[in-house]
Amino acid sequence: MAFYHFTTLCMVVAAIYIQQSDACSCNVVPNFPFRYCAYGLVFRGEVKNETLDRMGNLGYEDKYVYTVKVKKTYKATELANERISKDDTVQLETPKYGSLCGRPLRVGGDYLISVTRYEVALNSAAMAINMCEWIEEFDNVSLADKYNLENDFECPTLDFD
């Protein structure tokens, strides 16, 4: 009988202390038109500042917040243009850990960065990015993608008629 009570007590304690498990999984968008057209904001930017925002006692809520200088905007919805400050900077945030899809950036790094339409539309101080977004160091962007970016690529409209 004592073993039963001990086992029950252990299960209750474990249920109280075990946190929700999170993991990152992305649906990779394969090529330029799909990647470019799926986002509300696509720009080239230089990371100017990084801060670690500690959100809780356990650490898994921590996130990096970046100030990024927008060098060139390739695509922006009207709302995305409003999110770019007068000094041409944006605030981006990402989870600290890759297991939570965090996408750390390097201060001083020159990146091609995309932000989803959903994140652009949220009324928060910083727009969220993660490793599922189209983010890469600008020097690593393919010549074909750079060509499409520089030549005002037109996204096809879907006609369901």
Confidence (pTM): 0.78
- CA geometry: angle 117, 77, 142, nearest 5 deg: 80
pLDDT, position 94: 94
Per-10-residue mean pLDDT for the chain, 161 residues long?
53 44 67 85 97 74 93 94 93 90 95 92 88 93 93 73 49
Domains and CATH numbers, the chain: 41-150 (2.40.50.120)
The type of residue at 11 is M
Phi-psi region of 108 (alpha: psi -120 to 50; beta: other; left: phi over 0): left
pLDDT recorded at residue 29: 64
Provide the residue count of the chain.
161
Q: What is the pLDDT of residue 93?
A: 94
Amino acid at 128: A
Tell me the C-alpha distance between 54 and 107, whole Å: 19
pLDDT of amino acid 17: 43
Question: What torsion do the CA atoms of 3, 7, 9, 12 make, to the nearest 10 degrees?
Answer: -170
d(CA 155, CA 141): 19
